[in-house]
Amino acid sequence: MVTALPDSEILVRQWCLSKTSITDLLGTRVATNLPTEPTLPFLVITLLGGSVDESEALIGRADFQFDAYAGNWGGDNTKNKPDYQTAFNVANTVLKEAFANQDNQITSSGAAVGYIYGFSVTSNVRRIDEEGIGLARYSFDATMTYRSNSE
């Protein structure tokens, strides 16, 4: 019996939170959108699309964009101040984990969420100017290959 694929956004977020090198920089500040005036640095993961493998097992591929934000929000008559070094460091740390890690069973609150075979990094870390919000932003793309835990 084929089991449905797990939610890839939940799976990739839990993967980030399972990596000490990432949580040492971010704590739990990883989400699928940038909240209004979050504590920084912050990682936003955007699902760009994906596909399903046409084999006997249900294998998914999800294309993600990882965006690292850092700096100081303006407020109380202060000016926004981007922190390029921290944003780059966060993005590069996540990229290194994605490149290095293969075959990970991901759990949340002790329950299995899914299984990640690995990531294919499809672009290197790049700087994106964010004049509107005044924060440093570095980004890269990767494709995650995954399945449910019951295969």
Report pLDDT digits (tens) over 58-92.
Answer: 899 999 999 999 998 765 556 678 999 999 999 99
Kindly report the average pLDDT of the chain as a whole number. 89
Percent of the chain with pLDDT over 90: 64
Mean pLDDT of 21-28: 98
43-57 confidence digits (pLDDT tens): 999 999 999 987 777
pTM: 0.90
Residue 39 to residue 140: CA distance in whole angstroms:
21
